[in-house]
């Protein structure tokens, strides 16, 4: 017997349709999808319908974190990457998924890590609750490149299966990711000096080098595109972002430390920029003094790059780059929208970056990211209007994912 229609009433709704706001909305949810949306009282209610009156609350589509890592790690334990079993890490990651749902995060893009494709499958098949997951699988990284754990024996790092040097090995790694269930490819395009404390990001965003030759990066992109997968590049600094565009990368992750001219080129290319303001913001407050100074430099460069991108008309999606406790716990991911507003976006632009551009970047814009008939019933009820106070996005009172209530009213 089918479940009864679930009717939601609220004071207003940001629909995701070009920033349109519907006053006194009424949504009818059936079989996990929005069957009807309109003003309250303008359509008969089906017999036996369940009604949730959300009162003065403001509805939006579910939030999307377009850049995070489902590692199941606690980074305060430096041995965790090597000593924690995959099963234990997966169990911890399932807890992270639940915390994200409670925070209103109903879809995520996992930008590197071995657990992502399996967690995506488990959520998709209903084995565990969680946001929709689009996952890259493990990174693709050159030796001495972006995520090469140079402080550890190379033989240990080899076991992670992320190394790729030369065009042929780059193609091989892409094929391995496809076999492992990846939805897209994540490649490391820039790296700091070997003496840098923040080596993947570099201690200074103006002083990074390329991690790959043009031929290697083109091999990654060509093989991924040949198989219908997009490519995301960790690219900080002028040289890495220019190379990513030259080689046809689809999204620029981080993307600061560049000129206004290059920002215009990103806009013209149609590539999406994911600035990830949240990670440096939190690390600048919690890291040791010598590392915090580097994170502050990145924060300043990110702010400048975001303002350049806005002036140039770059497509921007919101992602945190959160990886887990203690400094960046998965769950309070909506902090990225607040930081985007602090850096120059309007609240409406931040909502668009999080929800509309996020759903497009995940390849799910035909299913999520709008309050519209036929779309999955992923939605959040907030205690106020986020266009007036973006901070309310971190205080959801009610969350629904695919028509299932995952956070009840207090």
This prediction has a pTM of: 0.97
Residue 2: predicted pLDDT:
81
Whether 257 and 339 share a structural domain: yes
Using the predicted structure, report yes or no on whether residue 386 has a pLDDT greater than 80.
Answer: yes
369 neighbors 358 (Cβ within 8 angstroms)? yes
**Torsion over CA: 194, 196, 201, 206 (sign):** negative
Task: Tell me which residue range forms the domain holding 174.
Answer: 63-361
Whether 96 and 194 share a structural domain: yes
Whether 357 and 216 share a structural domain: yes
Whether 231 and 343 share a structural domain: yes
How many domains does the structure of the chain reveal?
2
Where residue 20 sits, what CATH number does that domain have?
2.30.40.10
Give me the residues paired with residue 101 across strands: none
In a domain, 156, yes or no: yes
Mean per-residue pLDDT over the chain, rounded: 96
d(CA 394, CA 378): 16
Q: The tokens of 13 are what?
A: 């709704």
pLDDT confidence bin for 333, thresholds 50/70/90: low
In a domain, 1, yes or no: no
d(CA 191, CA 237): 10
Quickly tell me which residue has 């972002």 as its tokens.
241
d(CA 321, CA 67): 5
One-character DSSP codes across 78-100: TTHHHHS-HHHHHHHHHHHHHHH
Whether 227 and 341 share a structural domain: yes
d(CA 166, CA 171): 9
Using the predicted structure, report yes or no on whether residue 150 has a pLDDT greater than 90.
Answer: no
Using the predicted structure, report yes or no on whether residue 1 has a pLDDT greater than 80.
Answer: no
Q: The tokens of 61 are what?
A: 């589509």
pLDDT in tens, 59-92: 999 999 999 999 999 989 988 999 999 999 999 9
pLDDT in tens, 227-244: 999 999 999 999 999 999
Using the predicted structure, report yes or no on whether residue 163 has a pLDDT greater than 90.
Answer: yes
Whether 231 and 270 share a structural domain: yes
Whether 266 and 219 share a structural domain: yes
In a domain, 285, yes or no: yes
In a domain, 146, yes or no: yes
Whether 151 and 67 share a structural domain: yes
Give me the residues paired with residue 52 across strands: 8
Whether 395 and 328 share a structural domain: no
Whether 240 and 353 share a structural domain: yes
In a domain, 393, yes or no: yes
pLDDT in tens, 189-231: 999 998 999 999 999 999 999 999 999 999 999 999 999 999 9
């Amino acid at each position: 017997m089918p479940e009864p229609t679930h009717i939601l009433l609220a004071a207003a709704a940001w629909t995701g349709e070009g920033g349109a706001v519907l006053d006194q909305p009424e949504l009818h949810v059936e079989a996990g999808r929005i069957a009807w949306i309109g003003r309250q009282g303008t359509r008969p209610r089906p017999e036996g319908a369940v009604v949730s009156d959300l009162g003065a609350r403001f509805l939006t589509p579910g939030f999307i974190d377009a850049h995070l890592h489902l590692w199941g790690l606690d980074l305060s334990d430096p041995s965790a990457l090597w000593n924690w079993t995959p099963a234990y890490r997966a169990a911890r990651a399932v807890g992270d998924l639940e915390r994200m749902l409670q925070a209103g995060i109903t879809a995520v893009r996992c930008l590197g890590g071995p657990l992502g494709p399996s967690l995506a499958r488990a959520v998709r098949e209903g084995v565990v609750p969680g946001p929709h997951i689009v996952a890259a699988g493990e990174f693709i990284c050159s030796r001495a490149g972006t995520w090469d754990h140079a402080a550890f024996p190379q033989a240990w790092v080899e076991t992670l299966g992320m190394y790729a040097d030369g065009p042929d090995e780059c193609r091989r790694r892409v094929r391995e990711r496809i076999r492992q269930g990846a939805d897209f490819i994540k490649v490391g395009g820039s790296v700091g000096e070997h003496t840098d404390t923040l080596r993947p990001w570099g201690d200074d965003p103006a002083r990074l080098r390329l991690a790959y030759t043009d031929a290697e990066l083109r091999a990654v992109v060509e093989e991924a595109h040949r198989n219908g997968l997009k490519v995301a590049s960790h690219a900080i600094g002028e040289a890495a972002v220019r190379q990513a565009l030259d080689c046809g990368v689809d999204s620029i992750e981080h993307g600061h430390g560049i000129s206004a001219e290059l920002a215009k080129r990103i806009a013209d290319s149609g590539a999406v920029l994911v600035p990830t303001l949240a990670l440096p913001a939190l690390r600048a407050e919690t890291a040791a003094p010598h590392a915090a100074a580097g994170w502050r430099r990145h924060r300043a460069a990110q702010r400048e790059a975001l303002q350049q991108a806005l002036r140039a008309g770059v497509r921007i999606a919101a992602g945190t780059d959160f990886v887990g406790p203690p400094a960046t716990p998965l769950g309070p991911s909506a902090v990225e929208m607040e930081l985007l507003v602090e850096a120059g976006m309007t609240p409406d632009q931040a909502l668009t970056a999080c929800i509309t551009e996020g759903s497009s970047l995940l390849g799910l814009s035909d299913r999520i990211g709008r309050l519209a008939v036929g779309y999955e019933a992923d939605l959040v009820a907030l205690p106020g209007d986020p266009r007036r106070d973006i901070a309310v996005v971190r205080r959801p009172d009610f969350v629904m994912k695919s028509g299932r209530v995952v956070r009840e009213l207090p």
